[in-house]
Amino acid sequence: MQGELISVAQRLFGEHGYEDTTVDAIATAAGMSRRSFFRYFSSKEELVLGKYELVGEQLQDALQARPDDEPLWDALQAMFAAISGKAVPDASAQTVHAIERVVEESPSLRAGYLYRLDVMQRLLVAEARDRAVRAGVPYAEDDPTPEALVGSAFACMTAARTVAASAEASWEDTVARAMGVIRHDPYRNTSRR
């Protein structure tokens, strides 16, 4: 039923855009009442972005799977590589692309997407701190390192996703390239090394 609603909604979003498609229109098109729609999704945004909720846990699992003594940056790169094209767990590449187009189109959806990324990052920062402790580093509350590295890794991943759209390289290579920018040459001016 949820999948039915999603596919109906995606079609309507494609025709009229996200903002101009009312919940009423989606529910009616799917043959149910507005009230029932909200029993399947807590909000219109949730219908589009709900699948991203799972990604956070997957990333956390992927990071936990890396050895504690592996450098954090390497572990984060492996983590991103592990969930192929990242986005949504099941969903086809086409579906993912459709979702991305809708998100790109609407500021409020974009905001919700960024919020979910932010939640993931907080999860992973906590995990990164735990790793450090397990590796024997004394806990320092005012150390910006975990947050800086996790946040930077996400920034590189996002940059990788931007260029991955029109790239023929594999996701692993694309991520490695983006994260390599930081890895090899943080000083770099795009002109000279």
Contacts with DNA, residue ranges (CB under 7 A): 1, 21-24, 31-33, 35-36, 38-39, 42-45
The CA–CA distances, whole Å, from 88 to 10, 49, 95, 96, 132 equal 15, 10, 9, 7, 29
Contacts with a second copy, residue ranges (CB under 8 A): 68-75, 107, 110-112, 114-115, 117-118, 128-129, 131-132, 135-137, 141-152, 154-156, 158-160, 162-163, 166-167, 174, 177-179, 181-183, 186-192
The item of a second copy, DNA, none sharing an interface with residue 43, based on CB under 5 to 8 Å by kind, is: DNA
Give the span between the Cα atoms of 175 and 182, in whole angstroms: 11
Nearest-5° Cα angle at 86, 85 to 87: 105
Beta carbon nearer to DNA, 28 or 60: 28
- Residue in the block written with tokens 């905001």: 111
User: CB under 8 Å to 7, separation ≥6 — which residues?
Assistant: none
The answer to whether residues 148 and 169 touch, using CB atoms and an 8 Å cutoff, is: no
Beta carbon nearer to DNA, 35 or 192: 35
Tell me how far, at minimum, the Cβ of 52 lies from a second copy, in Å. 13
The item of a second copy, DNA, none sharing an interface with residue 152, based on CB under 5 to 8 Å by kind, is: a second copy
The item of DNA, a second copy, none sharing an interface with residue 124, based on CB under 5 to 8 Å by kind, is: none
Beta carbon nearer to a second copy, 50 or 151: 151
| Cα atoms in the Cβ-side hemisphere of radius 13 Å centred on 164 | 21
The item of a second copy, DNA, none sharing an interface with residue 181, based on CB under 5 to 8 Å by kind, is: a second copy
The answer to whether residues 110 and 127 touch, using CB atoms and an 8 Å cutoff, is: no
Tell me how far, at minimum, the Cβ of 27 lies from DNA, in Å. 7
With H, G, I as helix, E, B as strand and everything else as coil, classify residue 53.
helix
The item of DNA, a second copy, none sharing an interface with residue 163, based on CB under 5 to 8 Å by kind, is: a second copy
Tell me how far, at minimum, the Cβ of 14 lies from a second copy, in Å. 23
The item of DNA, a second copy, none sharing an interface with residue 64, based on CB under 5 to 8 Å by kind, is: none
What number of other Cβ atoms are within 10 A of residue 45's Cβ? 19
